[in-house]
Structure 1
Amino acid sequence: MPKQKKDTIEAKGFSIQIYTEDFKNDYISLTDIARYKNTDDPRFVIQNWMRNRNTLEFIGLWEALNNADFNRVQFDTFRNEAGLNRFTMTPQKWIDSTNAIGFISKSGRYGGTYAHYDIAMEFASWISPEFKLYIIQDYKRLKNDENSKLSISWNLHREISKINYRIHTDAIKTYLLADLTSEQLSYKYASEADILNVALFGKRAKQWREENPSLKGNIRDYASLNELLVLANMESYNAILIEKGVD
């Protein structure tokens, strides 16, 4: 998974690892959850759960909804075999055979089996509904903390962007447009700002307003953290280029 961020939540004294992809896709350690039922060998707990027909139907449906490359033919074969005494299933077998993306097997110090949040919660229900509720409770706490930090960081970078915009317009006024009227200056400011808007967002401010008539503010008020950082750097660098007389 690219750009992984590792976190830990607690449930009834058990630590459960989480890998997050860009704050979008959380993969929770099934191995850690399974230790609630069997601390010595959690792998067998996961395998027993996966050989259950209801489990296969759930994870198969999840893949069908979220994975365009899911091997439905192989899934149908597994589903037909589920329930037989000879049928076995492991996370790696499921991944390799069906091109599944809902499970991840990791090796090393923090290795084990991880599953997408949706699947992990289904597994936790099978382990213990009570344990699942404790997991959800601390997971919500983690997400609230992340959202709070993101909100503070976004506001900070938006203010930096506004400050840099002032530096940007001052550079235009001082080095390029000293003889223009206020109305002409306003037009030029907007034009220079739109050059950056097109470079970063792929559209002008007017185009964004026409596409989003119900939204308040401007295109930059709805930028992501990364976009605000790039914008701040672009405005600063553009101001330097203007000062040096570079077209």
Structure 2
Amino acid sequence: MKIVVIGGTGLIGSQTVALLKAAGYDVVAASPNNGVNTLTGEGLTEVLQGAQVVVDLSNSPSFEDTAVMNFFKTANENLMPAEKAAGVQHHIALSVVGTKNLQASGYFRAKQVQEDLIQASGIPYTIVHATQFFEFAGGIVYMSTADGKVTLPDANIQPIASKDVAAFMAQTAVAQPANAILEIGGPEKFDMAAWIKQYAEATGKNLVIETDANALYSGAAIEADTLTTSNAVYLGPTKYADWIAEPANQR
């Protein structure tokens, strides 16, 4: 079985490709670096020839509203017809838990457009909604910092290790299409501020961390459990305290 992984050189993509190759599958890591560009359509016909499964793990290089919408809309308008022409039998995409409830955010509006295009394509599909990755703690600090303070919503978060996401994506690539959205998350639910404090302590960052019931997440208001799973089919086994204790993860 030939599996094409779009975004196969990124954080989740590279780990997913490695797992599938180790299991003996014919896997192609497709990215602009090796001549496959979903935004322009370059290389799609060639890379999809003979492919049964496509796993889309790509992400926009810019989270600015117009750029991110252009990325997901254009990429999928190119990708889905190319897959249909090639006879692809299963399209898998990685999205985010809470997407429908975060439509005030340009990023999540773009992810919703991606999901809508997949569901309308006629190709059997599985959309995986994952919670935020452990590796994204620093990104949350960056986008939540103003005037020297990290101001976070009064909400919960259920982060998951990227290696556990990759393990689930690899399993999904060789399973039957669900024709549905599947939720996955980490094994523990944290108060967001408590999680970021744990990250700061482990990485030696001196951060002033506050909670504000009116604070936004990626430009959108959230409720207590917007970022947590409601019906998870898989909970990653890796606990955050064990993961962040590894020196390689303390960035």
TM-score, with structure 1 as normaliser: 0.25
The answer to which structure, 1 or 2, has the higher relative contact order (CA under 8 A, 6+ apart) is 2
More helix by share: 1
More strand as a share of residues: 2
TM-score normalized by the length of structure 2: 0.25
Is the radius of gyration larger for structure 1 or structure 2? 1
